[in-house]
Chains A and B, each alone.
Chain A
Amino acid sequence: MIFRRYNTSVLAVVALGLLLIYYYIRQPLILSPFGAKILANQGTTLALAALAQLVVVLTGGVDLSVGAVVSLSNCIAATYMGSHPASVIAVCVLTLAVGAGAGLVNGVLVAYGRIQPIIVTLATLYIFSGLALMVRPQPGGLVPPFYANALTGGWGYLPYAMVALFVMLFAVWTPLMRSRLGTAIRAVGDNPGGAHMSGINVPRTLILAYVMGGVFAAAAGLYLTAQTTSGDAAIGTSYTLNSVAAVVFGGALLGGGRGVAPGPVIAAYFLSIIISVLFAAGISPFYQSVFQGGILMVVLVFGNLWTLRTRNWLTILKN
C-alpha cells in the first residue's frame, strides 16, 4: 500500500541509495567530511526549487517560472549584496521579498485573472528572466566569502547546506503545511469545488501557495549564489524542468492534492548527484540533459500506468 501511494518516491529513495553506493565504489572519497559537503551542496539548490514547485503542484498547477525566479534572485543577490554583513542580510531579505512578489503576481493572475497556470507562468518566466537580465546583463557580481562559506562549508561531517535546507524545511515549510493553510492547499488541488463547499477561501489559498513557492524559489537562488559566488541571468533555466522532475519523481501527483516534502527533496538530490556520478563513471557530461529529461519521462509514464488499467474510457477522458 505504501508503494502504491508513494510509488515513485519509494523509487527515488531506492535510486538515491543505489546511486550513492555506486558512487562510493567508484569514488571512496565521498565518505569524508569533504565528500559529504560536496554531495550536500550539489542538491540543495534543486531541493529548494523542488519545494517551490511542489507547493504549486499541490494546488493543481505547474510553475514554469521557478527557474526564472531562481535566476532573478541569484542576480539580485550577487549584484547588490556588498560585503558588509548587514547589507548581506538586508539583500537576502530583499531577495526573498522579490521572490514572494513574483509568486504574488503568479498567484493573483491564476486566482483572480482566471488564466491557466501554464500560460501565466510561461509568460512570467519571460518577464522574470528579462528582469534578471536587466539587473545583470553580464555574468558577474560580488559575493563575500563569508556568505559562501556560511552556506557551502561544513563542520566535520555536517555540511552547512544540510543545516540551511533543514531550516527551510522545518522552520518554514513544515509549520506552514501543518497549518490550516497546508490542508487547504491540498484540498484545493484535490477537489476545488469541494473545497469551496467546505468553506475554504479558494483564491486566497491559491495566492498564498504561489507566494510560498516564490519564496522557496528565491531561497534556491540565494543558495545558488553562495555556490557559484556570482550572478548569471541564465543560470536558473534548468531548474524549471528539474524541479518538475523532482516533484513527479518524489511522488507528488501532477493535478494536485498529493505530495509530501521528503520525496521531492530526495529526488532532487538524486537528479543532481547523478550528474557527477555519470562524470565519475566516464560518461560524457553531454548526457546530462538526456538523463534529466529521460528520467522525467520515464517517471511520468510509470506514475500514470493506471490509465492503461482503468476500465471506463470516459473517466479517462474526463480526467
Chain B
Amino acid sequence: MTPETTGAGSLLEVRAITKSFGGVQALNAADFACDRGEIHALLGANGAGKSTLVKILSGVMAPDSGTIFFDGQEVTFSSPADAGAQGVATVFQELSLFAHLTVAENIFIGHEPLTRLGQVSGRRMRAAARALFDRLGIDHLNPDAMLSDLSLADRQLVEIFKALSRDPRLLILDEGTSALGRTEVERLFALLRKLKAGGTSVVFISHRMAETREFVDRMSVFRNGALVGTVAAAECSDEEIVEMMLGQRVEKSFPERSPLPAGAPVLLEVERMSDGSRLRDISLRLRGGEVLGIAGLEGQGQGELLLALFGAYRRLSGRVLLHGKPAKLSKPWIAKRAGIALIPEDRKTEGLVLPMSVRENVSMATLPAYGRFGFVSLKRERQFVAQMIARLEIKVGGMEQPARSLSGGNQQKLVLAKWLATGAEVFLFYDPTRGIDVGTKRAFYELIAGLARAGKGVIVYTTETSELAGLCHRVLVMDDGQMVRSLEGRDITEPKILAASFGLGDGAKPEKVPA
C-alpha cells in the first residue's frame, strides 16, 4: 500500500473513525483534523464522543474502523507508551499519577535523568522540573512535594508537566483546566502559545467554553459521535456554538408530564447540607409526584448529592427532613428503611453483582421479606422476581441467568426492580439512561413518569439535557458543589439548561437559589 499523504498543514488527521461499546455507538464515522502549530478545541455535549476520540488518539483504546494519519503517515497507537513514542502526549485526569511519588518523580516517571552510575539523579530531575515550571511561569510547585499533598489543581498541573516532559509534537488536554483557576488557565495558555510557536499542536477539551474560547485558534464541535463542523474561534458566537452542539431538534417522545397537584406533600427537605468539600450549602425540597432534575457539567457534586441523600456519606452538616420529620441518613440501610432508593451511577460496580443471577440481584435489597429465621423461601423469591420481570418487561432468558449476560438497559431495569420492591417513596436516579438503547430509554421515561404519577418523589441527575427538559417539573443547576440556578415551567428548555450549565448568558453568575 502506498503511504497516503494528507494536506501539508495537517499534523493529525482522523478519517471515518467508528467505535461502539456493546451496541452504543460512541463514534460514528467521525472526522477530525488538527493543523501544525495550532490550539484546537473539541466541543460537544456530554456523550458526543469527544472522550472516546481522545482515548483512541492517545492509544488507550483501538477504533473499530477508520484511519489515523500523523504527520502524513498512517499510524496506529497500540498503547499510551506507543503514542507517546510517536509524539502524542495526553493529559489524563489524574489517571496516571502516583500518590506516593514526588512531583518530580511523577513528571519524569520512566525517563528519569540518570547519573553516570545509572542512578536517578534527583538533582538533575529537580532542575529539569524547575525548568518546566519556569516555562509555564509556575513558582509555587515544589518538585519534592508528595503528590498526595497537592490540591486537585496542582495535580492537574503535574499531569500537564508530565505530558510536556516528553516534548510531544501533539499535546492532548482532556478537560485539562476544569480544576484550574482563572490565572492558572491564563498561564497555561501562555505556555500553550509558546509551544505553538515552536510548532507543537494542542488539542484541547474543556467544558469552560467561555473561559477558553479566547485562547484557542479553532473549534471542532461534535454531536452524536460525529463532527458537526470546525470553525475559527474568533468568528463564532456562543449561541451559534450551543446550537451546533444541540443540532436539529430531534423530537424525543417523552411521556406527558403529570401536573403537580397543588397540595402535594413535601416528601424530602434538605437544608444547608455540606460535606466539607464537594457539597456546599445545598438546600432543596421535593414534593410527592414531582420529578426534580439536577443539571450541571459533569462532576459538579451531583453524584455526591445523591450519595449523601442515600446515606453513603458520614459527618454531613445541615438537616434532612423526611415527611417533615428530621432524619439522620447516616447509612444506606437507614436510608432504605426511611424509604429512599438509589439507582447508582455505575450499574456494573455499584448497582449489580454481575456474576450473580437475575433472581439474586432483584431480591438483593428485600431478602428478609421472602422467608423466616434468616432463610429464604425460594418459591416466594421466585414468585416475586417473576412479577418484577413481567412488570418492568425485563428481557431475560430466565431468572437464573447471570446479570452480566443482560443488555445495559435490562441491567438497569434490574436495579430499578430491586428498589421498587422496597416500597421506597423517594427515588434517586444517577444518570439512569447512560449507555442504554433508545427503546429502553423510552421505557425508563415511562417508569419515571409512572413513579411520579403514583405520588413518589423522584430526583434525576442525568448528563442528557434533553431528558431533563422532557421529564422534569423543576431543574436545579449545580456548579462546584453549589446550587446556582433553579429553572421552572417554561424555562425548562434544553438551550436554557445547557447555557446555565456552561455558565453562559443569564445563568452565568452563580447565585443562591431559594429552596
Confirm or deny: A258 has a beta carbon within 8 angstroms of a beta carbon on chain B: yes
Residues on A with C-beta less than 8 A from B231 are none
Asked if residues A180 and B110 are in contact (CB atoms below 8 Å), the reply is yes
Which of A182, A195, A258, A312 makes the CB contact (< 8 A) with B100? A258
Given known contacts A5-B146, A312-B313, is B350 in contact with A180 (CB within 8 Å)?
no
Asked if residues B313 and A313 are in contact (CB atoms below 8 Å), the reply is yes
Give chain A nearest CB distance to B340 CB in angstroms: 15
Which of B95, B99, B105, B117 makes the CB contact (< 8 A) with A197? B95
Residues on A with C-beta less than 8 A from B105 are 183
Residues on B with C-beta less than 8 A from A198 are 80-81, 96, 109-110, 162
Tell me which residues from 129 to 157 in chain B have a Cβ below 8 Å from any Cβ of chain A. Answer: 146, 149
Asked if residues A311 and B315 are in contact (CB atoms below 8 Å), the reply is yes
Confirm or deny: B120 has a beta carbon within 8 angstroms of a beta carbon on chain A: yes
Asked if residues A187 and B118 are in contact (CB atoms below 8 Å), the reply is no
Residues on B with C-beta less than 8 A from A190 are 98-101
Asked if residues A253 and B100 are in contact (CB atoms below 8 Å), the reply is yes
Confirm or deny: B249 has a beta carbon within 8 angstroms of a beta carbon on chain A: no
Asked if residues A314 and B307 are in contact (CB atoms below 8 Å), the reply is yes
Give chain B nearest CB distance to A62 CB in angstroms: 17
Confirm or deny: A304 has a beta carbon within 8 angstroms of a beta carbon on chain B: no
Chain B 94-118: CB-based contact to A (< 8 A → 1; otherwise 0):
0111111100010001101010011
Residues on A with C-beta less than 8 A from B118 are 175, 179
Asked if residues B114 and A180 are in contact (CB atoms below 8 Å), the reply is yes
Given known contacts A179-B118, A180-B120, is B100 in contact with A186 (CB within 8 Å)?
yes
Asked if residues B314 and A313 are in contact (CB atoms below 8 Å), the reply is yes
Confirm or deny: A199 has a beta carbon within 8 angstroms of a beta carbon on chain B: yes
Confirm or deny: B119 has a beta carbon within 8 angstroms of a beta carbon on chain A: yes
Confirm or deny: A85 has a beta carbon within 8 angstroms of a beta carbon on chain B: no
Confirm or deny: A231 has a beta carbon within 8 angstroms of a beta carbon on chain B: no
Give chain B nearest CB distance to A175 CB in angstroms: 6
Residues on B with C-beta less than 8 A from A195 are 98, 109
Asked if residues B276 and A197 are in contact (CB atoms below 8 Å), the reply is no
Residues on A with C-beta less than 8 A from B307 are 312, 314
Q: Report the bound CA distance from A311 to B120 in whole Å.
A: 38
Asked if residues B80 and A197 are in contact (CB atoms below 8 Å), the reply is yes
Asked if residues B276 and A311 are in contact (CB atoms below 8 Å), the reply is yes
Q: Report the bound CA distance from A199 to B162 in whole Å.
A: 12
Asked if residues B313 and A194 are in contact (CB atoms below 8 Å), the reply is no
Interface centre among B92, B109, B117 (most CB of A within 10 A): B109
Chain A 119-160: CB-based contact to B (< 8 A → 1; otherwise 0):
000000000000000000000000000000000000000000
Which of B80, B304, B315, B350 makes the CB contact (< 8 A) with A199? B80
Q: Report the bound CA distance from A183 to B121 in whole Å.
A: 12
Give chain A nearest CB distance to B333 CB in angstroms: 11
Asked if residues B110 and A191 are in contact (CB atoms below 8 Å), the reply is no
Asked if residues B95 and A183 are in contact (CB atoms below 8 Å), the reply is no
Given known contacts A183-B109, A183-B120, A199-B84, is B312 in contact with A312 (CB within 8 Å)?
yes
Asked if residues A314 and B100 are in contact (CB atoms below 8 Å), the reply is no
Confirm or deny: A86 has a beta carbon within 8 angstroms of a beta carbon on chain B: no
Chain A 304-317: CB-based contact to B (< 8 A → 1; otherwise 0):
00000001111000
Of all chain A residues, which has the CB nearest B121? A178
Confirm or deny: B275 has a beta carbon within 8 angstroms of a beta carbon on chain A: yes
Give chain B nearest CB distance to A100 CB in angstroms: 20
Asked if residues A194 and B312 are in contact (CB atoms below 8 Å), the reply is no
Interface of A is mostly: helix
Residues on B with C-beta less than 8 A from A186 are 98, 100-101
Q: Report the bound CA distance from A179 to B120 in whole Å.
A: 5
Asked if residues B312 and A1 are in contact (CB atoms below 8 Å), the reply is no
Which of A5, A178, A184, A197 makes the CB contact (< 8 A) with B96? A197
Tell me which residues from 77 to 100 in chain B have a Cβ below 8 Å from any Cβ of chain A. Answer: 79-81, 84, 92, 95-100
Interface of B is mostly: loop
Of all chain A residues, which has the CB nearest B147? A190
Chain A 242-284: CB-based contact to B (< 8 A → 1; otherwise 0):
0000000000010001100000000000000000000000000
Count of interface residues, chain A, beta-carbon cutoff 8 Å: 29
Of all chain A residues, which has the CB nearest B345? A314
Q: Report the bound CA distance from A318 to B344 in whole Å.
A: 15
Residues on B with C-beta less than 8 A from A313 are 312-314, 331-332
Of all chain B residues, which has the CB nearest A256? B100
Asked if residues B92 and A257 are in contact (CB atoms below 8 Å), the reply is no
Residues on A with C-beta less than 8 A from B80 are 196-199
Residues on B with C-beta less than 8 A from A197 are 60, 80-81, 92, 95-96
Q: Report the bound CA distance from A178 to B60 in whole Å.
A: 30
Asked if residues A314 and B350 are in contact (CB atoms below 8 Å), the reply is yes
Residues on A with C-beta less than 8 A from B95 are 193-194, 197
Asked if residues A191 and B96 are in contact (CB atoms below 8 Å), the reply is yes
Interface centre among B60, B119, B275 (most CB of A within 10 A): B119
Give chain A nearest CB distance to B75 CB in angstroms: 17
Q: Report the bound CA distance from A182 to B119 in whole Å.
A: 10
Q: Report the bound CA distance from A311 to B332 in whole Å.
A: 13
Confirm or deny: A200 has a beta carbon within 8 angstroms of a beta carbon on chain B: yes
Asked if residues B112 and A183 are in contact (CB atoms below 8 Å), the reply is yes
Chain A 170-184: CB-based contact to B (< 8 A → 1; otherwise 0):
000001001110111
Q: Report the bound CA distance from A186 to B79 in whole Å.
A: 21
Asked if residues A194 and B119 are in contact (CB atoms below 8 Å), the reply is no
Which of B120, B331, B349 makes the CB contact (< 8 A) with A182? B120
Interface centre among B80, B276, B304 (most CB of A within 10 A): B80
Of all chain A residues, which has the CB nearest B279? A311
Residues on B with C-beta less than 8 A from A1 are 149
Give chain B nearest CB distance to A170 CB in angstroms: 12
Residues on B with C-beta less than 8 A from A191 are 96-99
Asked if residues B110 and A199 are in contact (CB atoms below 8 Å), the reply is yes
Residues on A with C-beta less than 8 A from B112 are 180, 183
Chain A 288-319: CB-based contact to B (< 8 A → 1; otherwise 0):
00000000000000000000000111100010
Q: Report the bound CA distance from A318 to B79 in whole Å.
A: 27
Residues on B with C-beta less than 8 A from A187 are 98, 101, 109
Residues on A with C-beta less than 8 A from B276 are 311
Asked if residues A199 and B314 are in contact (CB atoms below 8 Å), the reply is no
Q: Report the bound CA distance from A27 to B304 in whole Å.
A: 59
Q: Report the bound CA distance from A85 to B314 in whole Å.
A: 66
Residues on B with C-beta less than 8 A from A200 are 109-110
Q: Report the bound CA distance from A186 to B97 in whole Å.
A: 12
Asked if residues B81 and A199 are in contact (CB atoms below 8 Å), the reply is yes
Chain B 242-278: CB-based contact to A (< 8 A → 1; otherwise 0):
0000000000000000000000000000000001110
Give chain A nearest CB distance to B244 CB in angstroms: 32
Q: Report the bound CA distance from A180 to B101 in whole Å.
A: 13
Q: Report the bound CA distance from A187 to B101 in whole Å.
A: 7
Residues on A with C-beta less than 8 A from B146 are 5
Chain B 301-316: CB-based contact to A (< 8 A → 1; otherwise 0):
0001001000011111
Of all chain A residues, which has the CB nearest B277? A311
Q: A1-B149, A198-B109, A311-B316 are in contact. List 9 more A-B contacts (CB 8 A).
A: A175-B119, A179-B119, A180-B112, A186-B100, A187-B98, A190-B101, A200-B110, A311-B314, A318-B349
25 contacts between A and B (CB under 8 A): A179-B119, A179-B120, A180-B120, A183-B109, A183-B112, A186-B101, A190-B98, A190-B100, A193-B96, A194-B95, A194-B96, A194-B98, A195-B98, A195-B109, A196-B80, A197-B80, A197-B92, A199-B81, A199-B84, A253-B100, A257-B99, A258-B100, A312-B304, A313-B332, A314-B350
List the interface of chain A (C-beta within 8 A of B).
1, 5, 175, 178-180, 182-184, 186-187, 190-191, 193-200, 253, 257-258, 311-314, 318
Chain A to chain B: the 10 pairs with minimum beta-carbon distance, closest first: A199-B81, A258-B100, A194-B96, A257-B100, A190-B98, A197-B96, A197-B80, A178-B119, A199-B110, A198-B109
